[in-house]
Amino acid sequence: MNSADSFSASYDQARTKFLDAAKAAGGALERIAHPERGPDGKDLSTDLAWWGPRDAERVLVLISGTHGVEGYCGSGAQVDWLRRGEIATVPAGTGVLLIHAINPYGFAWDRRVTEDNVDLNRNWIDFARPLPENRDYATLSEAICPPAWSEDAQKKSLGDLMQFVAARGMPAFQQAISGGQYTHPKGVFFGGAGPTWSRRTQTDIFKSTLAKAAKIAIIDYHTGLGPWGYAEQIVPLARESDVFKRARAWFGAAITSPVSGTSTSADIVGDGLSAAVEILHHAQVTCVALELGTKPVMEVLNALRADAWLHAHSDPLSPAGREIKKQIRTAFYGDADDWKGMVAGQSLLACRQALAGLQG
């Protein structure tokens, strides 16, 4: 089979391929309707597919679309896994849960964020407590997301950002921008003012489908950091944690930790995998984010900045808006056969390693 055929050119196509593959593999399907609509006016939803006993002690969970537009990658990996017939290799008594497009709005609109401009992977915090501070983001906020996106405005804002890099270094710059912020709702990497629809939905899914599981493996698909097509395996917890140690034993020594400073990712607050460990506290949870590389980091950042400006100040459906949409899709989706093959192959290996680890 050609792995590239498992990937899609739109949210609607991805959803159709997922549902068809899940049905063909004998999965039990569930649709969770989203309150918003796509750019074409069509309905949006998160779709679930389940295999195995509902009270399975061991469960593998694959999540796509945490960051919307990154769903092209995760959906393709899920569909490829199903089309390869991997369900037939799952040990008896083990459950499998595929969550397709947990942020369907971002997927359909080619956005990394949710309908309220929230980065879902910064949204998993306790909003009843004081919000995390990011003073460097506040200092750079106008340069990060200028009110105009003319050629002169882009040149000036980029110059201001590069001054920060020259003074503080690239790691501090990446942390300032992508670590998460809760003060600029129209900015990038905004963590929100409360739990989003996607967070509430994922919490409900976990509590309703995984309540009886004792051992759970979660793979969450992401893109945008690292070399072309390389899947960095990220555990968002310290190297000393039991979760990290298990992941290292399952997936190998290349596992990285943003908390311990070994990842291409900044040390973020409010990520979904750390939250999953807490939500599913009754079980032994082993989780990893597969981060597939696409473009250089500044090219990815500029695409995010352009998209933030577009939705805050312009029309996403205008000719200029469509050009920005092409830019952000390119930043987060390697629409080439070699990239898709690398995604499928590395995902396949990770799924097999996770299933083997669950049996240990």
pLDDT (0 to 100) of residue 209: 98
pLDDT (0 to 100) of residue 1: 76
Distance CA 177, CA 274 (A): 20
pLDDT (0 to 100) of residue 317: 95
Could you give the domains of the chain? 3-127+193-298+328-359 (3.40.630.10)
Q: Tell me the pLDDT of the chain (360 aa) as tens digits.
A: 789 999 999 999 999 999 999 999 999 999 999 999 999 999 999 999 999 999 999 999 999 999 999 999 999 999 999 999 999 999 999 999 999 999 999 999 999 999 999 999 999 999 999 999 999 999 999 999 999 999 999 999 999 999 999 999 999 999 999 999 999 999 999 999 999 999 999 999 999 999 999 999 999 999 999 999 999 999 999 999 999 999 999 999 999 999 999 999 999 999 999 999 999 999 999 999 999 999 999 999 999 999 999 999 999 999 999 999 999 999 999 999 999 999 999 999 999 999 999 998
Q: Name the pTM for this structure.
A: 0.97
